[in-house]
Structure 1
């Protein structure tokens, strides 16, 4: 299969997991649309959002770099963070997007221009042009404002998340995002932080409805490890149930779960940070089947610089193979 003629894939999420996955996916198809959450309000992105009134550029920058056809040295420049002064901790790529946003007076136009400059394969789109803030209602009844504060407050208050919600009652998805979903062959949700990268996208009714109406293969990639303050004690079933509770049952038909072996020293390292493997057992598999969700397991793990990540190429290859297999089945092959 020529990657230029590869299937049309929409990847919905945000955070590190999404950009890592895109690096593997672009080796198999160039028909990629990355849909990125816009609720980030921490770090350099949060500062630019507060100072300039623009959408947060950080996760979008990472996706653009993941799909860009540029030399490694240029990627280093785009990811360079200033060590001192007023811009300490801020990345050059964020400032570049901010400058383009100022020149063209539009965040979407800025993303389009930087994508042209960096020869991006596919498209990177903010899920919405609305200035959205994420809130969480904790199990103790308290409300937390701001994506960056949610896991911190969960830890401080020793309370899990009951639900998350946006500060805009009828947020609108970008038209290009809806169009991409309607034309997609494959829709991938994740990998990424459950409540702060994935759910904020599906809280937008237009996006949720577009996914439901699509005939594409719909896949959720479950995280390998839990996240402190966000998914403590969560297994695969709880991840799926949380997504369905914030959208509706049937949003996807497959969940991909890693069952590859991870060296014990890395498990211990994560345990020291109050994170653990996202578990799966026979009972969960049966309950998911009752929800019309098929579990697909495999060795998709990769340890890089001490961090447990998905092997992006293996994961992307499985999803493309799954799509081809389903299509062949429909054609009676």
Structure 2
């Protein structure tokens, strides 16, 4: 009762509409009584009839019916108007800064019925993809690598004995419902030369939550609520893993940041031969495994092949869940090569590297960009040793992976995926795969060069 009475406090502008609703209800009930000729308000009916006789010289129960109909209409109008105003007032009191709230509620309901997508990866490639996907569905599960050991993430990882928060932070911000000052603060990076120099505020916030909850998932759930994200952000594992790279020169390099530095120190002449983790078989997060089992489609990448995409797949339980699940798995190939990891790689080279680690038959489709970036953009990449990834169709066909080609960079012709084009293409492919079209016709249609 006390909670109900709180809605009657002054200043809420609710009482007036509640009174109007009550008056409308009383008028409607009285009108219904007159129509049905019940003697509930006998004295009042008698007064009305006397007035009618005084004015016209006759008694007429038809007049009572007409009066009742009029009262029912007036009462219904008052009640509907009061309900409309009450709903508007409740919405304003609950969310005063929101405009077109009903439209936003409808949009959220539509997104909640969207495709169930599991996006696996890390780095800027995954966060770019998530920004587009959240406009098409809220059933997104981002499974993120936590092997980063450089920059702010690396420092917090070592000093506080937690998993790397950087990629988790980027994905949280990417999935946030809308751009706000809070999201901008999450990405704010301290400058100067003090202890905070180089740290991201979002990294510090996540690190504090992890220590407070002593649980990575609890920290992410709290941060997700604060940012009001669409979907879920899940670490591949809650163990503090470290990457090990066996190089083509026989050396073994430990640590994500050290791998790139070692290749650069050799002038890019050596390549990564094999990747593994320490500990060798990290335990997966249960919610991540459940998301994979319920997915409509699973995407790998885009992002650094060896340090963003592969680390998640080196968690045995995640790989087993993908293999045993029914959802198709699609690798999204990078547009440009990376000097520190994939210099000179073709699309088939990317696929072979994945297959060497996870086995054949896991990746069903590979989505590649077939549009060429602008010449001035390519010149900038050439200066750092990067080039467009070549689509070697014959070699791809030998790997038993269906090639899907599409212009994924849009009219800007930059050497990065257009987030909306990419997400729309993923939804299109996923919808086609859910149809009853025969596999042969579907494969022919998806494999056409567009």
Partner residue of 2:34?
A: none
Relative to structure 1, the CA distance from residue 307 to residue 88 in structure 2 (aligned partners, 3 Å threshold; closer, same or farther) is farther
In structure 2, distance between residues paired with 1:151 and 1:160: 10
- Spell out the pairing of 1:298-313 with structure 2 (5 A cutoff): 298-301=406-409, 308-313=415-420
Which one is further off, 147-156 or 322-331?
Answer: 322-331
| 1:131 is aligned to 2:237 | no
Pairing 1:44–2:152 present: yes
Could you tell me which residue of structure 2 aligns to residue 119 of structure 1? Answer: 228
* Aligned-pair CA distance for 1:289: 2.4
- Distance verdict in 2 for CA 1:117–1:270, change over 3 Å: same
Aligned-CA RMSD value: 1.8
Aligned partner (choices 288, 305, 319) of residue 426 of structure 2:
319
Pairs aligned (count): 329
Q: What is the CA–CA distance in structure 2 between the aligned matches of 1:319 and 1:328, rounded to whole Å?
A: 15
1:247 — aligned with what?
Answer: 358
Q: Secondary structure at the match of 2:415?
A: strand
| CA-CA distance at 1:303 after TM superposition | 8.8
State the match for 1:19 in structure 2: 127
d(CA) in 1 for partners of 2:380, 2:394: 32
Which one has the bigger strand percentage?
Answer: 1
Partners of 1:128 and 1:172 within 8 A in 2: yes
Q: Which residue of 1 aligns with 2:371?
A: 260
For 1:105, the equivalent position in structure 2 comes to 214
2:291 equivalent in structure 1: 180
Give the superposition deviation at 1:301.
1.3
* Greater share of helix: 2
Residue matched to 1:91: 200
Shift of 1:330: 4.8
Structure number with greater Rg is: 2
Contact 1:79-1:93 within 8 A present in 2 as well:
yes
Once the two structures are superposed, the pairs formed by residues 197-276 of structure 1 within 5 Å of their partners are 197-276=308-387
Report SS of the residue matched to 1:188: strand
Superposed displacement of residue 331, structure 1: 8.1
Q: Hey, what's the Cα distance between the residues in 1 that align with 2:335 and 2:123?
A: 15
| CA distance in 2 between partners of 1:260 and 1:94 (Å) | 36
Greater relative contact order structure (CA < 8 Å, 6+ sep)? 1
Residues 373 and 414 in structure 2, CA contact (< 8 A), matched pair in contact too = no
Aligned-partner Cα distance in 2 for 1:163–1:291: 19
Structure 2: segments with no counterpart, 5+ residues: 1-106, 443-450
Q: Within 2, Cα distance between the matches of 1:302 and 1:90?
A: 34
| Contact in 2 for aligned 1:81/1:91 (Cα 8 Å) | yes
- The answer as to whether partners of 2:153 and 2:165 remain within 8 angstroms in 1 is yes
Structure 1: gaps of 5 or more residues: none
Deviations 1:197-230 (A, max 9, x none): 0111111111111111111121100000111111
| Contact 1:303–1:309 (Cα < 8 Å) also in 2 | no
User: How far does residue 302 in structure 1 lie from its aligned partner after superposition?
Assistant: 5.5
Moved more, 157-166 or 270-279: 157-166
